[in-house]
Amino acid sequence: MWNTEIIGTGMFAPPGVVTNNDLSTMMETSHDWIVQRSGIEERRWVAPEVTTTDLALEASLAAIKNAGIDKKEIDCILFATLSPDHEFPGNGCFLQPKLGLTDIPAIDVRQQCSGFLYGMSIADAFIRSGQYKTILLVGAEIHSKGLDKSTRGRDTAVLFGDGAGAIILRRKEVKDPSKDSHIMSTHLFAEGAGARELWIEGPGMNLGAERMNHQMIEENKQFPYMNGKKVFMNAIRRMCEATLLACETNKVKLENIELFLFHQANMRISQMVAQELKIPEEKVFSTIQKYGNTTAATLPIGMSEAVEAGRLKKGMLVASAVFGSGFTWGSSLYRW
Indicate whether 137 and 195 sit together in one domain: no
Indicate whether 197 and 118 sit together in one domain: no
Judge whether residue 19 has pLDDT over 80.
yes
Indicate whether 43 and 140 sit together in one domain: yes
Indicate whether 21 and 50 sit together in one domain: yes
Residue 220 lies in a domain: yes
The CATH number of the domain holding residue 331 is 3.40.47.10
Indicate whether 11 and 138 sit together in one domain: yes
pLDDT at 244: 98
Residue 286 lies in a domain: yes
C-alpha pair distances (Å), 209 with each of 29, 112, 204, 216: 38, 26, 10, 13
pLDDT digits (tens, 9 = 90+) for 111-164: 999 999 999 999 999 999 999 999 999 999 999 999 999 999 999 999 999 999
Residue 291 lies in a domain: yes
Residue 331 lies in a domain: yes
Q: What is the mean pLDDT of residues 156-176?
A: 96
User: 123 CB contacts (<8 Å, ≥6 apart)?
Assistant: 4, 76, 78, 132, 135, 137, 169
pLDDT digits (tens, 9 = 90+) for 225-237: 999 999 999 999 9
Residue ending a domain, among 149, 172, 195, is 172
Task: Give the predicted TM-score (pTM) of the model.
Answer: 0.97
Residue 48 lies in a domain: yes
Residue 177 lies in a domain: no
The residues carrying an active-site annotation are 113, 263, 293
pLDDT at 209: 83
Residue 225 lies in a domain: yes
Report how far residue 18's alpha carbon sits from residue 334's, in angstroms, rounded to the nearest whole number.
34
Indicate whether 153 and 197 sit together in one domain: no
pLDDT digits (tens, 9 = 90+) for 193-227: 999 999 999 888 888 888 888 888 888 889 999 99
Q: How many domains does the chain have?
A: 2
> Where does the pLDDT of residue 167 fall: very low under 50, low under 70, confident under 90, or very high at 90 and above?
very high
Indicate whether 168 and 186 sit together in one domain: no
Report how far residue 165's alpha carbon sits from residue 59's, in angstroms, rounded to the nearest whole number.
5
Contact 187, 170 (CB under 8 A): no
Indicate whether 254 and 164 sit together in one domain: no
Q: What is the mean pLDDT of residues 289-304?
A: 98
Indicate whether 195 and 224 sit together in one domain: yes
pLDDT digits (tens, 9 = 90+) for 44-81: 999 999 999 999 999 999 999 999 999 999 999 999 99
Judge whether residue 1 has pLDDT over 80.
no
Residue ending a domain, among 172, 194, 209, is 172
Indicate whether 11 and 30 sit together in one domain: yes
Average pLDDT, the chain: 96
Contact 306, 261 (CB under 8 A): yes
Residue ending a domain, among 172, 200, 224, is 172
H or E element at residue 225: strand 225-226
Residue 66 lies in a domain: yes
Give the range of the structural domain holding residue 264, as residue numbers without chain letter.
182-335
Indicate whether 161 and 212 sit together in one domain: no
Indicate whether 10 and 145 sit together in one domain: yes
